[in-house]
């Protein structure tokens, strides 16, 4: 995706690992919470190496949430009951912090986990990073900084969503390879169901 994209592409919130690791003492650890540690663990070295982190670095502690009450909904493709999962994820994290005294930050690797970031920040008083903080980081690189420099150079959003055309963002070679061409928004919705 990075080879053809015109905007920054990140495939995992773990791209933040290098920045997080650089911000803390080399003896501090970073807790990575994921949907299932058994599926992430075999990929850890490849992901961290791809993100510019020394894979021999034992600073990253991976823990899965698959055993938490209600979190099995992720594997089943169902709605996750936030009111059940949130207290469980906070309790699990607090238990980990009691055992692992050097944890200085938390990274939520799974895209199902950002709804719990604020609860974890409040309970642990640690910085919590996730896909949302990663997006915010990249988006802020394109935005006007109102505190200094040239201000008001960007037009305000007109609150009108651009018309979406399936495959419109692809390069010509990829457009020719599309299996479904020129779907209407209704057809696209039906195809996703």
Which tops the pLDDT comparison, 1 or 109? 109
Residues β-bridged to residue 32: 62, 107
Please work out, in degrees rounded to the nearest 5, the angle formed at the alpha carbon of residue 116 by the alpha carbons of 115 and 120. Answer: 150
Q: pLDDT-derived band of residue 96, with 50, 70 and 90 as boundaries?
A: very high
For the segment 9-53, what is each residue's pLDDT rounded down to a tens digit? 777 888 888 889 889 998 999 999 998 777 766 666 666 666 666
pTM: 0.75
> Which residues are CB-contacts of 57 (< 8 A; sequence separation ≥ 6)?
21, 48
Exposed (0-12), middle (13-18) or buried (19+): which is 192, by Cβ within 10 Å?
Answer: exposed
CA quadruple 14, 19, 22, 27: dihedral, nearest 10: -30
Dihedral-angle region of residue 125 (phi above 0 means left; psi in -120 to 50 means alpha; beta otherwise): left
| pLDDT at 65 (0 to 100) | 92
Angle 82-99/117-124 helices, nearest 10 degrees?
40
Q: Can you tell me the distance from the alpha carbon of 31 to that of 106, in angstroms, rounded to the nearest whole number?
A: 5
What is the overall mean pLDDT for the chain? 84
Is the pLDDT at 125 greater than 90? The verdict is: yes
């Amino acid at each position: 995706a990075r080879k053809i994209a015109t905007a920054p592409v990140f495939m995992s919130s773990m791209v933040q690992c290098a920045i997080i690791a650089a911000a803390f003492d080399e003896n501090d650890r970073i807790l990575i919470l994921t949907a299932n540690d058994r599926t992430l663990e075999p990929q850890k070295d490849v992901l961290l190496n791809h993100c510019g982190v020394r894979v021999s670095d034992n600073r990253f502690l991976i823990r899965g949430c698959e055993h938490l009450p209600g979190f099995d909904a992720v594997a089943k493709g169902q709605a996750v009951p936030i009111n059940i999962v949130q207290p469980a994820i906070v309790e699990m994290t607090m238990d980990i912090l009691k055992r692992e005294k050097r944890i200085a930050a938390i990274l939520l690797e799974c895209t199902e986990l950002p709804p719990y970031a604020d609860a974890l920040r409040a309970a642990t008083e640690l910085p919590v990073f996730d896909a949302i903080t990663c997006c915010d980081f990249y988006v802020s690189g394109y935005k006007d900084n109102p505190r200094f420099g040239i201000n008001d150079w960007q037009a305000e959003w007109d609150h009108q969503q651009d018309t979406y055309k399936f495959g419109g963002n692809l390069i010509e070679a990829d457009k020719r390879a599309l299996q479904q061409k020129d779907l209407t928004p209704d057809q696209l919705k039906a195809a996703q169901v």
